[in-house]
Amino acid sequence: MSMAFALKSDGTDDEEFLFERIAGDLHAQGWSVVPNALPIHISFAIFSQLQTSTDDAFAPAGVGRSVDHVIDPSIRRDEISWIEGITQAERDWLQWSDRLRIYLNRRLFLGLFSFESHFAHYRPGAFYRKHVDAFRNQPFKDGTNRVLSVVAYFNPDWLPEHGGELVMYDESGVHSIQSVAPEFGTLVVFLSEDVPHEVKPARRDRFSIAGWYRVNNSINQQIDPPR
């Protein structure tokens, strides 16, 4: 029998290989950057949805949660649209994210419970100042209980002069550890509390999905609210 028959062609081997790489990177250093990571059919379906979506689907992004939520253009200028699984492309993304969640729970015992994600559109000039996605030891104060952040990019032919890099920093927030161009298909995963990061001003329209895996903070029958 030739080797070809021993290989699965449904992509599950590729997916396991990718998830294992992400798990290994997270375990070793707390972040992972993988070019051409998302399955191509999902990337293209999301891309074409973004191409045809209208501006009114997006709203200026805020900072803080619930009653502390404010729009502050000095901190961030992206426009966002939460992903609810309305289209097949969104459902494919959410299902893929859930398979990653289950894999990482099994592999790293992270106890990831739920997932939330939004599209983000950075117009030319838009940025997001250095921040962390969750604050250590303050799960009830800041209310996010975000453990793991994931960002996926949908910008073919992104060039250095287009700016818009995601720059990640060490825990001190002083030394940059990696700068990532938002190129189509690239995926970034990092521990939400441990990796300060910023989005440099983009000089071209820049589309991404940002998502967060959360642990469950429900207490006393009070369901932990999303967002």
According to CB under 5 A, which one of 78, 79, 133, 194 is a site residue for Mn ion? 133
Nearer Cβ to Mn ion (45/76): 76
Nearer Cβ to ligand OGA (91/200): 200
Residue 153 half-sphere exposure, CB side, CA atoms within 13 Å? 25
Residue 216 identity (one-letter amino acid): N
- Rounded to the nearest whole angstrom, what is the least distance from the CB of residue 74 to ligand OGA in the complex? 16
Residue 175 has a CB neighbour count (10 Å cut-off) of: 8
- Rounded to the nearest whole angstrom, what is the least distance from the CB of residue 179 to ligand OGA in the complex? 11
DSSP class of 202 = B
Nearer Cβ to Mn ion (43/208): 208
Binding site for ligand OGA (CB under 6 A): 120, 128, 133, 151, 166, 197, 199, 208, 210
- Rounded to the nearest whole angstrom, what is the least distance from the CB of residue 6 to ligand OGA in the complex? 39
Nearer Cβ to Mn ion (93/212): 212
Q: How far is CA 121 from CA 4, 66, 78, 162, 205, in A?
A: 42, 22, 6, 14, 7
- Rounded to the nearest whole angstrom, what is the least distance from the CB of residue 1 to Mn ion in the complex? 49
Q: Which helix (H) or strand (E) covers residue 179, if one does?
A: strand 176-180
Residue 92 identity (one-letter amino acid): D
- Rounded to the nearest whole angstrom, what is the least distance from the CB of residue 208 to ligand OGA in the complex? 4
Q: Which does 100 bind (CB under 5 to 8 A by kind): ligand OGA, Mn ion, none?
A: none
Residue 79 within binding range of Mn ion, rule CB under 5 A: no
Contact 13, 7 (CB under 8 A): yes
Which of 137, 150, 130, 124 lies closest to 193, judged by CA? 137
Which residues are at the interface with Mn ion (CB under 5 A)? Answer: 133
